A and B are shown apart, each in its own frame.
Chain A
Amino acid sequence: MNFLNDPITFISAWMRSLLTGWGLLDGLTTVIIYFIGITVLIIFAMVLDILLVWVERKVVARFQDRLGPNRIGPYGLFQPFADIIKLIIKEDITPAGADKLLYNLGPVLAIASVIILWAILPLSAKIYGVDLNVAILYLVAAGALGTLSILVGGWASNNKYALLGAFRMVANMVSYEIPMVVVLLIPTILADTMSVQGITQAQNGMWFAILSPLALIIFLISAIAELGRSPFDLNEAESEIVAGFHIEYTGMKFGLFYAGELLHAFTFGGFMAVLFFGGYGGFFGLEKIGFFSWLNNPFVQAVVFLAKAMFGYWVIMWIKYSMPRIRIDHMLAFNWKFLTPLALVVLVNTAVLSKVLAGLPNWGYVLGMFLSNLVIGFITIEILRAYGRKQRKAETKPTPQNGQNQEQVA
Protein backbone atom coordinates (compact mmCIF):
# COMPACT_ATOMS: atom_id res chain seq x y z
CA MET A 1 0.00 0.00 0.00
CA ASN A 2 1.48 3.32 -0.96
CA PHE A 3 0.26 6.84 -1.42
CA LEU A 4 0.12 6.81 -5.22
CA ASN A 5 -1.98 3.67 -5.54
CA ASP A 6 -4.46 4.14 -2.72
CA PRO A 7 -4.18 7.66 -1.26
CA ILE A 8 -7.28 7.65 0.96
CA THR A 9 -6.48 4.37 2.72
CA PHE A 10 -2.84 5.44 3.08
CA ILE A 11 -3.69 8.79 4.69
CA SER A 12 -6.36 7.33 6.98
CA ALA A 13 -4.02 4.53 8.13
CA TRP A 14 -1.31 7.12 8.84
CA MET A 15 -3.71 9.34 10.77
CA ARG A 16 -5.07 6.39 12.71
CA SER A 17 -1.60 5.37 13.84
CA LEU A 18 -0.82 8.99 14.70
CA LEU A 19 -4.00 9.57 16.72
CA THR A 20 -3.96 6.24 18.53
CA GLY A 21 -0.29 6.95 19.25
CA TRP A 22 -1.46 10.08 21.08
CA GLY A 23 -3.63 7.83 23.23
CA LEU A 24 -7.03 8.51 21.68
CA LEU A 25 -9.70 5.83 21.79
CA ASP A 26 -10.28 3.77 18.65
CA GLY A 27 -13.92 4.86 18.21
CA LEU A 28 -13.06 8.54 18.66
CA THR A 29 -10.25 8.19 16.13
CA THR A 30 -12.70 6.82 13.55
CA VAL A 31 -15.07 9.73 14.15
CA ILE A 32 -12.24 12.28 13.80
CA ILE A 33 -10.88 10.69 10.62
CA TYR A 34 -14.32 10.56 9.00
CA PHE A 35 -14.98 14.15 10.04
CA ILE A 36 -11.71 15.31 8.47
CA GLY A 37 -12.47 13.30 5.33
CA ILE A 38 -15.91 14.90 4.95
CA THR A 39 -14.47 18.38 5.54
CA VAL A 40 -11.75 17.85 2.92
CA LEU A 41 -14.32 16.63 0.38
CA ILE A 42 -16.56 19.65 0.99
CA ILE A 43 -13.61 22.04 0.74
CA PHE A 44 -12.57 20.42 -2.52
CA ALA A 45 -16.09 20.87 -3.91
CA MET A 46 -16.27 24.49 -2.77
CA VAL A 47 -12.84 25.41 -4.16
CA LEU A 48 -13.84 23.79 -7.43
CA ASP A 49 -16.99 25.91 -7.25
CA ILE A 50 -14.87 29.11 -7.19
CA LEU A 51 -13.16 27.93 -10.36
CA LEU A 52 -16.53 27.14 -11.92
CA VAL A 53 -17.60 30.79 -11.58
CA TRP A 54 -14.66 31.72 -13.80
CA VAL A 55 -15.37 28.87 -16.24
CA GLU A 56 -19.03 29.81 -16.51
CA ARG A 57 -18.31 33.49 -17.14
CA LYS A 58 -15.59 32.75 -19.68
CA VAL A 59 -17.68 30.20 -21.58
CA VAL A 60 -20.81 32.36 -21.70
CA ALA A 61 -18.62 35.18 -23.00
CA ARG A 62 -17.41 32.94 -25.83
CA PHE A 63 -20.96 31.90 -26.68
CA GLN A 64 -22.03 35.55 -26.80
CA ASP A 65 -18.94 36.67 -28.75
CA ARG A 66 -17.41 38.62 -25.85
CA LEU A 67 -14.12 38.31 -24.00
CA GLY A 68 -15.42 37.81 -20.49
CA PRO A 69 -13.43 38.70 -17.36
CA ASN A 70 -9.83 39.44 -18.39
CA ARG A 71 -8.57 42.18 -16.08
CA ILE A 72 -7.85 40.52 -12.74
CA GLY A 73 -5.02 38.01 -12.94
CA PRO A 74 -4.01 35.98 -15.99
CA TYR A 75 -7.07 35.34 -18.21
CA GLY A 76 -9.18 36.92 -15.47
CA LEU A 77 -8.58 33.90 -13.25
CA PHE A 78 -8.83 35.93 -10.01
CA GLN A 79 -12.18 37.47 -10.96
CA PRO A 80 -14.15 35.00 -8.75
CA PHE A 81 -12.19 36.15 -5.69
CA ALA A 82 -13.10 39.74 -6.43
CA ASP A 83 -16.72 38.57 -6.81
CA ILE A 84 -16.58 36.82 -3.44
CA ILE A 85 -15.12 39.89 -1.69
CA LYS A 86 -17.88 42.00 -3.24
CA LEU A 87 -20.58 39.55 -2.11
CA ILE A 88 -19.19 39.38 1.43
CA ILE A 89 -18.99 43.14 1.99
CA LYS A 90 -22.47 43.80 0.57
CA GLU A 91 -25.21 44.84 2.98
CA ASP A 92 -27.18 41.87 4.26
CA ILE A 93 -30.87 42.71 3.97
CA THR A 94 -33.73 40.75 5.49
CA PRO A 95 -37.01 41.96 4.00
CA ALA A 96 -39.72 43.24 6.34
CA GLY A 97 -42.25 40.55 7.18
CA ALA A 98 -39.86 37.76 6.18
CA ASP A 99 -39.78 34.57 8.17
CA LYS A 100 -36.27 35.10 9.50
CA LEU A 101 -35.32 31.52 10.33
CA LEU A 102 -36.62 30.04 7.09
CA TYR A 103 -35.20 32.95 5.10
CA ASN A 104 -31.73 32.05 6.35
CA LEU A 105 -32.34 28.32 6.01
CA GLY A 106 -33.12 28.55 2.27
CA PRO A 107 -29.56 29.23 0.94
CA VAL A 108 -28.03 26.75 3.40
CA LEU A 109 -30.33 23.98 2.20
CA ALA A 110 -29.68 24.97 -1.42
CA ILE A 111 -25.92 24.43 -1.16
CA ALA A 112 -26.30 21.43 1.17
CA SER A 113 -28.52 19.60 -1.32
CA VAL A 114 -25.66 19.83 -3.83
CA ILE A 115 -22.82 18.99 -1.48
CA ILE A 116 -24.47 15.81 -0.20
CA LEU A 117 -24.36 14.57 -3.80
CA TRP A 118 -20.56 14.62 -3.61
CA ALA A 119 -20.74 11.84 -1.03
CA ILE A 120 -21.56 9.34 -3.77
CA LEU A 121 -19.63 10.88 -6.68
CA PRO A 122 -16.80 8.42 -7.49
CA LEU A 123 -13.71 10.47 -8.39
CA SER A 124 -11.79 7.25 -8.95
CA ALA A 125 -11.90 3.58 -7.97
CA LYS A 126 -10.10 4.47 -4.72
CA ILE A 127 -11.17 8.09 -4.10
CA TYR A 128 -14.86 8.36 -3.23
CA GLY A 129 -17.06 9.25 -0.28
CA VAL A 130 -19.21 6.15 0.07
CA ASP A 131 -20.30 3.38 -2.28
CA LEU A 132 -24.03 3.11 -1.55
CA ASN A 133 -26.03 0.25 -3.05
CA VAL A 134 -28.91 2.73 -3.52
CA ALA A 135 -26.83 5.56 -4.96
CA ILE A 136 -29.25 6.19 -7.84
CA LEU A 137 -32.15 6.74 -5.44
CA TYR A 138 -29.90 8.89 -3.25
CA LEU A 139 -29.47 11.19 -6.24
CA VAL A 140 -33.26 11.60 -6.46
CA ALA A 141 -33.56 12.12 -2.69
CA ALA A 142 -30.99 14.92 -2.78
CA GLY A 143 -33.08 16.58 -5.50
CA ALA A 144 -36.02 16.58 -3.09
CA LEU A 145 -33.98 18.66 -0.63
CA GLY A 146 -33.12 21.08 -3.43
CA THR A 147 -36.83 21.58 -4.16
CA LEU A 148 -37.43 22.18 -0.47
CA SER A 149 -34.70 24.84 -0.33
CA ILE A 150 -36.24 26.84 -3.16
CA LEU A 151 -39.76 26.50 -1.74
CA VAL A 152 -38.59 27.64 1.70
CA GLY A 153 -36.49 30.52 0.34
CA GLY A 154 -39.23 31.71 -1.98
CA TRP A 155 -41.93 31.60 0.65
CA ALA A 156 -39.93 33.14 3.49
CA SER A 157 -38.95 36.17 1.39
CA ASN A 158 -42.48 37.58 1.72
CA ASN A 159 -42.45 38.68 -1.90
CA LYS A 160 -44.99 37.74 -4.54
CA TYR A 161 -42.38 37.29 -7.26
CA ALA A 162 -40.31 35.06 -5.02
CA LEU A 163 -43.37 32.97 -4.22
CA LEU A 164 -44.31 32.72 -7.91
CA GLY A 165 -40.79 31.60 -8.72
CA ALA A 166 -40.93 28.98 -5.98
CA PHE A 167 -44.28 27.67 -7.26
CA ARG A 168 -42.95 27.38 -10.79
CA MET A 169 -39.82 25.65 -9.60
CA VAL A 170 -41.80 23.06 -7.68
CA ALA A 171 -44.08 22.36 -10.65
CA ASN A 172 -40.95 22.02 -12.76
CA MET A 173 -38.96 19.79 -10.44
CA VAL A 174 -41.78 17.53 -9.32
CA SER A 175 -42.83 16.76 -12.88
CA TYR A 176 -39.35 16.32 -14.37
CA GLU A 177 -38.42 14.01 -11.53
CA ILE A 178 -40.58 11.31 -13.18
CA PRO A 179 -38.70 10.92 -16.50
CA MET A 180 -35.49 11.32 -14.48
CA VAL A 181 -36.32 8.39 -12.19
CA VAL A 182 -37.48 6.25 -15.12
CA VAL A 183 -34.36 6.97 -17.12
CA LEU A 184 -32.09 6.35 -14.13
CA LEU A 185 -33.41 2.79 -14.14
CA ILE A 186 -31.78 2.18 -17.54
CA PRO A 187 -28.14 2.27 -16.33
CA THR A 188 -29.39 0.23 -13.37
CA ILE A 189 -30.73 -2.46 -15.71
CA LEU A 190 -27.66 -2.39 -17.94
CA ALA A 191 -25.21 -2.61 -15.03
CA ASP A 192 -27.41 -4.81 -12.83
CA THR A 193 -26.68 -2.63 -9.80
CA MET A 194 -27.58 0.76 -8.33
CA SER A 195 -24.12 1.48 -6.94
CA VAL A 196 -22.19 4.11 -8.89
CA GLN A 197 -18.96 2.13 -8.58
CA GLY A 198 -20.72 -0.90 -10.07
CA ILE A 199 -22.20 1.18 -12.89
CA THR A 200 -18.78 2.67 -13.67
CA GLN A 201 -17.09 -0.72 -13.73
CA ALA A 202 -19.86 -2.17 -15.91
CA GLN A 203 -18.91 0.38 -18.57
CA ASN A 204 -15.26 -0.67 -18.84
CA GLY A 205 -16.04 -2.40 -22.14
CA MET A 206 -18.74 -0.17 -23.57
CA TRP A 207 -20.24 3.15 -22.53
CA PHE A 208 -23.96 3.20 -21.79
CA ALA A 209 -24.14 6.31 -23.97
CA ILE A 210 -23.70 3.96 -26.94
CA LEU A 211 -25.99 1.24 -25.57
CA SER A 212 -28.78 3.74 -24.91
CA PRO A 213 -28.25 7.20 -26.44
CA LEU A 214 -31.93 8.06 -25.95
CA ALA A 215 -31.60 7.52 -22.20
CA LEU A 216 -28.65 9.92 -22.19
CA ILE A 217 -30.67 12.61 -23.97
CA ILE A 218 -33.67 12.21 -21.65
CA PHE A 219 -31.38 12.31 -18.61
CA LEU A 220 -29.72 15.48 -19.90
CA ILE A 221 -33.07 17.21 -20.46
CA SER A 222 -34.51 16.25 -17.09
CA ALA A 223 -31.24 17.16 -15.36
CA ILE A 224 -31.37 20.65 -16.89
CA ALA A 225 -35.00 20.93 -15.75
CA GLU A 226 -34.03 19.83 -12.25
CA LEU A 227 -31.24 22.41 -12.21
CA GLY A 228 -33.71 25.10 -13.23
CA ARG A 229 -31.36 26.34 -15.94
CA SER A 230 -32.41 27.77 -19.28
CA PRO A 231 -34.53 26.71 -21.20
CA PHE A 232 -36.25 25.63 -17.97
CA ASP A 233 -35.35 28.70 -15.89
CA LEU A 234 -38.96 29.66 -15.22
CA ASN A 235 -38.18 29.96 -11.52
CA GLU A 236 -36.07 33.06 -12.14
CA ALA A 237 -37.48 34.31 -15.44
CA GLU A 238 -36.05 37.86 -15.39
CA SER A 239 -38.53 39.29 -17.87
CA GLU A 240 -41.59 37.93 -16.02
CA ILE A 241 -40.93 37.66 -12.29
CA VAL A 242 -37.79 39.80 -11.96
CA ALA A 243 -35.48 37.23 -10.37
CA GLY A 244 -37.79 34.58 -9.02
CA PHE A 245 -37.21 32.83 -5.74
CA HIS A 246 -33.94 34.61 -4.84
CA ILE A 247 -35.16 38.14 -5.59
CA GLU A 248 -34.79 39.34 -1.97
CA TYR A 249 -31.46 37.71 -1.23
CA THR A 250 -28.36 39.88 -1.09
CA GLY A 251 -24.67 39.36 -0.56
CA MET A 252 -23.38 35.93 0.28
CA LYS A 253 -26.88 34.48 0.73
CA PHE A 254 -27.50 35.12 -2.95
CA GLY A 255 -23.96 33.89 -3.51
CA LEU A 256 -24.84 30.54 -1.95
CA PHE A 257 -27.80 30.10 -4.33
CA TYR A 258 -25.57 31.04 -7.26
CA ALA A 259 -22.69 28.83 -6.18
CA GLY A 260 -25.12 26.01 -5.49
CA GLU A 261 -26.52 26.27 -9.01
CA LEU A 262 -23.08 26.16 -10.64
CA LEU A 263 -21.86 23.28 -8.52
CA HIS A 264 -25.16 21.46 -9.13
CA ALA A 265 -24.69 21.78 -12.89
CA PHE A 266 -21.13 20.48 -12.63
CA THR A 267 -22.26 17.63 -10.36
CA PHE A 268 -24.91 16.60 -12.86
CA GLY A 269 -22.20 16.70 -15.52
CA GLY A 270 -20.33 14.30 -13.26
CA PHE A 271 -23.34 12.02 -12.92
CA MET A 272 -23.79 12.07 -16.69
CA ALA A 273 -20.17 10.91 -16.96
CA VAL A 274 -20.70 8.19 -14.35
CA LEU A 275 -23.99 6.89 -15.74
CA PHE A 276 -23.31 7.10 -19.47
CA PHE A 277 -19.63 7.82 -20.24
CA GLY A 278 -17.88 5.31 -18.02
CA GLY A 279 -17.01 7.71 -15.17
CA TYR A 280 -13.34 7.52 -14.23
CA GLY A 281 -12.88 4.42 -16.41
CA GLY A 282 -14.47 3.30 -19.65
CA PHE A 283 -11.31 3.06 -21.76
CA PHE A 284 -12.74 0.13 -23.79
CA GLY A 285 -10.28 -2.33 -22.31
CA LEU A 286 -7.24 -0.13 -23.00
CA GLU A 287 -6.24 -0.07 -19.34
CA LYS A 288 -5.63 -3.83 -19.35
CA ILE A 289 -2.73 -3.51 -21.83
CA GLY A 290 0.59 -3.25 -19.98
CA PHE A 291 1.71 -0.02 -21.63
CA PHE A 292 -1.48 1.82 -20.57
CA SER A 293 -1.60 0.49 -17.01
CA TRP A 294 -1.01 4.04 -15.71
CA LEU A 295 -4.71 4.62 -16.55
CA ASN A 296 -5.52 2.63 -13.40
CA ASN A 297 -3.76 5.15 -11.15
CA PRO A 298 -6.35 6.86 -8.90
CA PHE A 299 -5.05 10.35 -9.68
CA VAL A 300 -5.19 9.76 -13.44
CA GLN A 301 -8.71 8.38 -13.01
CA ALA A 302 -9.72 11.45 -11.01
CA VAL A 303 -8.41 13.75 -13.76
CA VAL A 304 -10.30 11.70 -16.38
CA PHE A 305 -13.47 11.88 -14.32
CA LEU A 306 -13.20 15.64 -13.78
CA ALA A 307 -12.56 16.15 -17.50
CA LYS A 308 -15.67 14.14 -18.41
CA ALA A 309 -17.71 16.00 -15.78
CA MET A 310 -16.44 19.30 -17.19
CA PHE A 311 -17.57 18.18 -20.65
CA GLY A 312 -21.06 17.45 -19.27
CA TYR A 313 -21.06 20.85 -17.58
CA TRP A 314 -20.03 22.45 -20.86
CA VAL A 315 -22.93 20.77 -22.69
CA ILE A 316 -25.34 22.07 -20.04
CA MET A 317 -23.89 25.58 -20.47
CA TRP A 318 -24.03 25.24 -24.25
CA ILE A 319 -27.76 24.49 -24.08
CA LYS A 320 -28.35 27.19 -21.47
CA TYR A 321 -26.84 29.99 -23.55
CA SER A 322 -28.30 28.95 -26.91
CA MET A 323 -31.92 28.18 -26.05
CA PRO A 324 -34.67 30.70 -25.23
CA ARG A 325 -36.87 30.11 -22.20
CA ILE A 326 -39.96 27.99 -22.89
CA ARG A 327 -43.44 28.81 -21.69
CA ILE A 328 -44.70 27.06 -18.56
CA ASP A 329 -47.59 25.22 -20.25
CA HIS A 330 -45.23 24.07 -23.02
CA MET A 331 -42.79 22.91 -20.40
CA LEU A 332 -45.38 20.80 -18.58
CA ALA A 333 -46.91 19.46 -21.81
CA PHE A 334 -43.43 18.55 -23.08
CA ASN A 335 -42.78 16.59 -19.91
CA TRP A 336 -46.10 14.77 -19.53
CA LYS A 337 -47.02 14.19 -23.17
CA PHE A 338 -43.59 13.56 -24.62
CA LEU A 339 -40.68 12.95 -22.25
CA THR A 340 -42.39 10.65 -19.74
CA PRO A 341 -43.96 8.31 -22.34
CA LEU A 342 -40.70 8.21 -24.29
CA ALA A 343 -38.72 7.41 -21.14
CA LEU A 344 -41.15 4.57 -20.35
CA VAL A 345 -40.83 3.16 -23.88
CA VAL A 346 -37.04 3.27 -23.71
CA LEU A 347 -37.11 1.63 -20.28
CA VAL A 348 -39.34 -1.25 -21.44
CA ASN A 349 -37.23 -1.65 -24.57
CA THR A 350 -34.00 -1.83 -22.54
CA ALA A 351 -35.48 -4.22 -19.99
CA VAL A 352 -36.76 -6.64 -22.64
CA LEU A 353 -33.74 -6.44 -24.95
CA SER A 354 -31.21 -6.88 -22.14
CA LYS A 355 -32.76 -10.30 -21.49
CA VAL A 356 -33.40 -11.22 -25.17
CA LEU A 357 -29.90 -10.27 -26.32
CA ALA A 358 -28.14 -11.69 -23.26
CA GLY A 359 -27.11 -14.85 -25.14
CA LEU A 360 -25.51 -13.01 -28.05
CA PRO A 361 -21.78 -12.18 -28.24
CA ASN A 362 -20.81 -8.73 -27.00
CA TRP A 363 -20.85 -6.95 -30.37
CA GLY A 364 -24.35 -8.35 -31.13
CA TYR A 365 -25.63 -7.08 -27.77
CA VAL A 366 -24.18 -3.61 -28.32
CA LEU A 367 -25.43 -3.41 -31.90
CA GLY A 368 -28.92 -4.63 -30.98
CA MET A 369 -29.22 -2.10 -28.16
CA PHE A 370 -27.94 0.76 -30.30
CA LEU A 371 -30.17 -0.08 -33.28
CA SER A 372 -33.28 -0.44 -31.12
CA ASN A 373 -32.57 3.05 -29.76
CA LEU A 374 -32.15 4.38 -33.28
CA VAL A 375 -35.50 2.86 -34.32
CA ILE A 376 -37.28 4.38 -31.31
CA GLY A 377 -35.62 7.72 -31.99
CA PHE A 378 -36.64 7.63 -35.66
CA ILE A 379 -40.28 6.78 -34.81
CA THR A 380 -40.31 9.57 -32.20
CA ILE A 381 -39.04 12.12 -34.70
CA GLU A 382 -41.62 10.98 -37.29
CA ILE A 383 -44.45 11.32 -34.75
CA LEU A 384 -43.18 14.76 -33.77
CA ARG A 385 -42.97 15.82 -37.40
CA ALA A 386 -46.55 14.67 -38.11
CA TYR A 387 -47.72 16.50 -34.98
CA GLY A 388 -45.86 19.65 -35.96
CA ARG A 389 -47.36 19.54 -39.46
CA LYS A 390 -50.85 19.19 -38.00
CA GLN A 391 -50.25 22.16 -35.67
CA ARG A 392 -48.96 24.35 -38.48
CA LYS A 393 -51.94 23.41 -40.70
CA ALA A 394 -54.37 24.25 -37.91
CA GLU A 395 -52.73 27.64 -37.49
CA THR A 396 -52.69 28.60 -41.16
CA LYS A 397 -56.25 27.37 -41.88
CA PRO A 398 -58.58 30.38 -41.67
CA THR A 399 -60.99 29.38 -38.92
CA PRO A 400 -63.82 31.81 -38.12
CA GLN A 401 -62.06 32.81 -34.93
CA ASN A 402 -58.77 33.25 -36.69
CA GLY A 403 -60.30 35.35 -39.43
CA GLN A 404 -61.93 37.66 -36.90
CA ASN A 405 -58.64 38.18 -35.15
CA GLN A 406 -56.93 39.06 -38.38
CA GLU A 407 -59.60 41.61 -39.17
CA GLN A 408 -59.19 43.19 -35.76
CA VAL A 409 -55.45 43.40 -36.25
CA ALA A 410 -55.94 44.88 -39.70
Chain B
Amino acid sequence: MTADQIIFLLCAVLILGSSIMVVTTRKLIHAALWLVAALFGVAILFAILQAGFLAVVQVVVYIGAIAILFIFAVMLTRKEMLDKGTQTRSNWWLPALLGLLILAGLVFLILGQPIFGRTAAAMPEGVDTLRNLGFALVSPDAFVLPFEVASVLLLAALVGAVYVAAGNNK
Protein backbone atom coordinates (compact mmCIF):
# COMPACT_ATOMS: atom_id res chain seq x y z
CA MET B 1 0.00 0.00 0.00
CA THR B 2 1.43 3.38 -0.95
CA ALA B 3 1.30 6.48 1.23
CA ASP B 4 -1.35 7.98 -1.06
CA GLN B 5 -3.62 5.00 -0.50
CA ILE B 6 -3.20 5.17 3.27
CA ILE B 7 -4.07 8.88 3.26
CA PHE B 8 -7.02 8.21 0.96
CA LEU B 9 -8.40 5.50 3.23
CA LEU B 10 -8.04 7.63 6.36
CA CYS B 11 -9.69 10.48 4.53
CA ALA B 12 -12.56 8.30 3.32
CA VAL B 13 -13.15 7.09 6.89
CA LEU B 14 -13.17 10.72 8.05
CA ILE B 15 -15.65 11.81 5.37
CA LEU B 16 -18.02 8.87 5.79
CA GLY B 17 -17.87 8.89 9.58
CA SER B 18 -18.50 12.63 9.80
CA SER B 19 -21.30 12.42 7.25
CA ILE B 20 -23.04 9.74 9.32
CA MET B 21 -22.57 11.87 12.43
CA VAL B 22 -24.11 14.88 10.63
CA VAL B 23 -27.42 13.07 10.24
CA THR B 24 -27.42 11.07 13.49
CA THR B 25 -26.23 13.55 16.12
CA ARG B 26 -29.00 15.24 18.08
CA LYS B 27 -27.26 18.55 18.66
CA LEU B 28 -27.67 20.86 15.68
CA ILE B 29 -24.42 22.68 16.35
CA HIS B 30 -22.55 19.36 16.46
CA ALA B 31 -24.14 18.41 13.16
CA ALA B 32 -22.85 21.63 11.62
CA LEU B 33 -19.36 20.99 12.96
CA TRP B 34 -19.36 17.38 11.73
CA LEU B 35 -20.30 18.82 8.35
CA VAL B 36 -17.20 21.02 8.57
CA ALA B 37 -15.12 17.89 9.24
CA ALA B 38 -16.66 16.12 6.23
CA LEU B 39 -16.01 19.11 3.96
CA PHE B 40 -12.44 19.29 5.23
CA GLY B 41 -12.00 15.65 4.28
CA VAL B 42 -13.15 16.47 0.75
CA ALA B 43 -10.57 19.28 0.64
CA ILE B 44 -7.87 16.72 1.55
CA LEU B 45 -9.10 14.50 -1.31
CA PHE B 46 -8.67 17.40 -3.72
CA ALA B 47 -5.17 18.00 -2.36
CA ILE B 48 -4.25 14.33 -2.91
CA LEU B 49 -5.40 14.68 -6.53
CA GLN B 50 -3.00 17.64 -6.94
CA ALA B 51 -5.90 20.08 -7.30
CA GLY B 52 -4.53 22.59 -4.78
CA PHE B 53 -6.78 25.39 -5.97
CA LEU B 54 -9.95 23.33 -5.48
CA ALA B 55 -8.76 22.19 -2.06
CA VAL B 56 -8.20 25.73 -0.84
CA VAL B 57 -11.41 27.04 -2.41
CA GLN B 58 -13.29 24.18 -0.75
CA VAL B 59 -12.06 25.40 2.63
CA VAL B 60 -12.65 29.09 1.87
CA VAL B 61 -16.14 28.70 0.46
CA TYR B 62 -17.62 25.71 2.25
CA ILE B 63 -15.98 26.07 5.67
CA GLY B 64 -15.21 29.78 5.70
CA ALA B 65 -18.54 30.96 4.37
CA ILE B 66 -21.28 28.34 4.17
CA ALA B 67 -20.60 26.27 7.31
CA ILE B 68 -20.01 29.40 9.39
CA LEU B 69 -23.28 30.83 8.10
CA PHE B 70 -25.01 27.56 9.10
CA ILE B 71 -23.57 27.73 12.61
CA PHE B 72 -24.42 31.41 12.88
CA ALA B 73 -28.01 30.83 11.78
CA VAL B 74 -28.43 27.83 14.11
CA MET B 75 -27.13 29.83 17.07
CA LEU B 76 -29.43 32.75 16.32
CA THR B 77 -32.63 30.84 15.69
CA ARG B 78 -32.84 28.17 18.39
CA LYS B 79 -32.41 28.53 22.09
CA GLU B 80 -32.64 24.84 22.91
CA MET B 81 -30.40 23.30 20.29
CA LEU B 82 -31.41 19.72 21.03
CA ASP B 83 -33.71 17.71 18.82
CA LYS B 84 -35.72 15.35 21.02
CA GLY B 85 -38.10 13.86 18.46
CA THR B 86 -37.64 10.51 16.78
CA GLN B 87 -35.06 10.65 14.01
CA THR B 88 -36.78 8.39 11.49
CA ARG B 89 -40.13 8.42 9.74
CA SER B 90 -42.40 5.46 9.12
CA ASN B 91 -41.51 5.37 5.43
CA TRP B 92 -37.74 5.44 5.97
CA TRP B 93 -37.32 2.21 3.99
CA LEU B 94 -38.31 3.93 0.71
CA PRO B 95 -35.37 6.41 0.54
CA ALA B 96 -33.09 3.67 1.89
CA LEU B 97 -34.16 1.42 -0.98
CA LEU B 98 -33.69 4.24 -3.50
CA GLY B 99 -30.25 5.01 -2.08
CA LEU B 100 -29.23 1.36 -2.29
CA LEU B 101 -30.47 1.18 -5.90
CA ILE B 102 -28.45 4.24 -6.88
CA LEU B 103 -25.39 2.84 -5.11
CA ALA B 104 -25.81 -0.50 -6.91
CA GLY B 105 -26.17 1.28 -10.25
CA LEU B 106 -23.07 3.40 -9.64
CA VAL B 107 -21.03 0.38 -8.54
CA PHE B 108 -22.18 -1.52 -11.63
CA LEU B 109 -21.19 1.36 -13.92
CA ILE B 110 -17.82 1.91 -12.23
CA LEU B 111 -16.98 -1.82 -12.35
CA GLY B 112 -17.48 -1.67 -16.11
CA GLN B 113 -14.74 0.93 -16.44
CA PRO B 114 -11.12 -0.20 -16.69
CA ILE B 115 -9.94 2.12 -13.92
CA PHE B 116 -9.01 -0.29 -11.14
CA GLY B 117 -5.41 -1.05 -10.37
CA ARG B 118 -4.18 1.93 -12.31
CA THR B 119 -1.85 4.49 -10.82
CA ALA B 120 -2.43 8.16 -11.51
CA ALA B 121 -0.26 9.62 -14.23
CA ALA B 122 2.40 11.95 -12.83
CA MET B 123 1.80 15.64 -13.37
CA PRO B 124 3.98 16.86 -16.27
CA GLU B 125 6.71 19.29 -15.18
CA GLY B 126 6.01 22.98 -15.65
CA VAL B 127 2.24 22.74 -15.94
CA ASP B 128 0.56 25.53 -13.99
CA THR B 129 -2.91 24.13 -13.31
CA LEU B 130 -4.03 27.41 -11.82
CA ARG B 131 -3.11 29.36 -14.96
CA ASN B 132 -4.83 26.78 -17.17
CA LEU B 133 -7.96 26.99 -15.02
CA GLY B 134 -7.93 30.79 -15.27
CA PHE B 135 -7.64 30.70 -19.05
CA ALA B 136 -10.40 28.07 -19.29
CA LEU B 137 -12.77 30.23 -17.25
CA VAL B 138 -12.46 33.26 -19.54
CA SER B 139 -11.77 31.62 -22.90
CA PRO B 140 -14.67 31.75 -25.41
CA ASP B 141 -14.10 28.15 -26.57
CA ALA B 142 -14.13 26.91 -22.98
CA PHE B 143 -16.31 27.94 -20.05
CA VAL B 144 -16.83 31.68 -20.35
CA LEU B 145 -20.60 31.39 -20.83
CA PRO B 146 -21.39 29.16 -17.81
CA PHE B 147 -18.96 31.24 -15.75
CA GLU B 148 -20.69 34.50 -16.64
CA VAL B 149 -24.19 33.02 -16.22
CA ALA B 150 -23.23 31.81 -12.74
CA SER B 151 -21.85 35.26 -11.91
CA VAL B 152 -25.07 36.96 -13.02
CA LEU B 153 -27.13 34.44 -11.03
CA LEU B 154 -25.10 35.11 -7.90
CA LEU B 155 -25.41 38.86 -8.42
CA ALA B 156 -29.17 38.50 -8.79
CA ALA B 157 -29.28 36.47 -5.57
CA LEU B 158 -27.23 39.17 -3.83
CA VAL B 159 -29.50 41.98 -5.02
CA GLY B 160 -32.57 39.94 -4.08
CA ALA B 161 -31.19 39.26 -0.60
CA VAL B 162 -30.48 42.95 -0.04
CA TYR B 163 -34.00 43.82 -1.25
CA VAL B 164 -35.65 41.30 1.07
CA ALA B 165 -33.48 42.32 4.02
CA ALA B 166 -34.11 46.03 3.48
CA GLY B 167 -37.90 45.47 3.66
CA ASN B 168 -40.62 47.03 1.53
CA ASN B 169 -40.82 50.46 3.07
CA LYS B 170 -42.90 52.34 0.51
Contact = CB atoms under 8 A, between A and B. Distances in A.
Given A134-B130, A148-B68, A155-B29, A140 B60 contact: yes
B72 interface: yes
Given A144-B59, A144-B60, A134 B53 contact: yes
A195 B52 CA distance: 12
Contact of A151 (B3, B68, B128): B68
A102 B33 contact: yes
Contacts of B71: 148, 151, 155
B160 interface: no
Given A132-B52, A194-B130, A137 B57 contact: yes
B68 A144 contact: yes
Contacts of B63: 141, 144-145, 148
Interface in A139-176: 140-141, 143-145, 147-148, 151-152, 155, 163, 167, 170, 174
B49 to A, nearest CB: 14
Interface string B51-75: 0110011011001110110011001
A155 B3 contact: no
Q: Which of A141, A152, A174 has the most CB of B within 10 A?
A: A141
Contacts of B36: 148
A332 to B, nearest CB: 13
Contacts, number: 65
B33 A152 contact: yes
A133 B57 contact: no
Nearest to B52: A134
B33 A163 contact: no
Given A27-B3, A31-B3, A144-B59, A133 B52 contact: yes
A134 B56 contact: yes
A267 B111 CA distance: 49
B75 A155 contact: yes
Interface of B: 2-3, 27, 29-30, 33, 36, 52-53, 56-57, 59-60, 63-65, 67-68, 71-72, 75-76, 128-130
A140 B56 CA distance: 9
Contacts of B30: 102
Chain A at the B interface: SS class: helix
Given A140-B60, A144-B64, 15 more contacts: A27-B3, A99-B29, A102-B30, A134-B130, A137-B60, A141-B63, A144-B63, A148-B36, A148-B63, A148-B67, A155-B75, A167-B76, A170-B68, A170-B72, A177-B64
A161 to B, nearest CB: 14
A147 B53 contact: no
B64 A147 contact: yes
A140 B61 CA distance: 10
A146 to B, nearest CB: 10
A164 B132 CA distance: 44
Contacts of A147: 64, 68
Contacts of B2: 27
Contacts of B52: 132-134
Given A27-B3, A144-B60, A177-B64, A133 B128 contact: yes
Contacts of B64: 140-141, 143-144, 147, 177
Contacts of B72: 151, 167, 170
Nearest to A28: B3
A78 B30 CA distance: 42
A148 B70 CA distance: 11
Contacts of A141: 56, 59-60, 63-64
Interface string A15-43: 00000000000010001000000000000
